[in-house]
Homo-oligomer: A and B are copies of this chain.
Amino acid sequence: MPEVVTLGETMVLMNPESSGPLKYISQFTKQIGGAESNFAIGVVRLGRSAGWISRLGNDEFGKYVLSFIQGEGVDTSQVKFDVSAPTGLYFKERREYGESKVYYYRKDSAASRMSPADLDADYIGSAKILHISGITPALSESCHQTIKEAIAIAKRRGVAICLDPNIRLKLWEKDRARQVIMELAASSDIILPGVSEGEILLGETDPGKIAAQFLALGVQKVVVKLGKKGAYYATPTEHKLVRGYLIDKVVDPIGAGDGFAAGFIAGLLKGYPMEEAVKLGNAVGAMATTVIGDVEGLPTMDEVAVFRGYKEGVDR
């Protein structure tokens, strides 16, 4: 049984060959994209076990997603194939100014049909950590119920709950997102918000204030991700700003947050103190941005050591 269990949707990503409006792009490369499976792959690559719960369409794209994630060593024994709904799909569009865009073809996807009945209480109950994101409850009401049931199981079985808010305003209204994610936060032991998520959820942009409010809700460990600057963590007994690693040339910023979560949680599983776990999160998040793709840059512990040696110089 894996040490960490997560659940969520993974889609096929059609990645354009170059930047600019998709109208003029003719070649696309098939990849996969999913915050929770990125996280699970990251954890496995760092030497810990992880399981991913989901639904996929019973089609070639579903088979592809499963092979990829299984090939990375993530436990996929809980994944179900749905014969009546397709695997979700999306396109990225990279622009040189403003934010990149995504075009979703995920409405009524197989994953949006996840339901509480898909959950095996023993599977979740045997893990040390249940990792959830704010994307899943936005997919459908049955997905929202599934997340709530997963939390209930974890609570009953003493499994720690880690929440990555991952707010996607393309999927739901801001008010609804805030309400639902704050409810999840109130049940969580660990939360990993970014600053802009702090602003949406709490109206705060100061890392200390964001952390304080979540601690007040009962969360035990809060890590506010600060991008290039690193991360600020707080627990009921300590707090600190941990500097990040500067990357000369960020090749692809997508996946940094998932990499951070994987590094931080792997650090906790290894028994690292908070500061060390955050440092590992910082390193993995930074390394994820040096390669195109969400998971291609996720490192092994050996690669982390080379990277930190290279970046920290004398610490080597």
Contacts and interface: CB of A to CB of B under 8 A. Distances in A.
Interface in A52-93: 59-61, 63-64, 66-73, 86, 89, 93
Interface residues of A, number: 53
A173 interface: no
A72 B71 CA distance: 7
A311 B293 CA distance: 28
B296 A20 contact: yes
A27 interface: yes
Nearest to A25: B30
Contacts of A290: 20, 95-97
Contacts of A107: 107-108
A211 B14 CA distance: 46
A92 B89 CA distance: 15
A97 B310 contact: yes
Contacts of A207: none
Interface in A19-46: 19-30
B96 A23 contact: no
B19 A251 contact: yes
Given A71-B71, A89-B89, 17 more contacts: A18-B292, A20-B296, A21-B63, A22-B30, A22-B60, A23-B61, A23-B64, A23-B67, A24-B291, A59-B103, A67-B73, A70-B70, A86-B103, A97-B287, A97-B290, A97-B310, A98-B307
Interface of A: 14, 18-30, 59-61, 63-64, 66-73, 86, 89, 93, 95-98, 103, 105, 107-108, 247-249, 251, 287, 290-293, 296-297, 306-307, 310-311
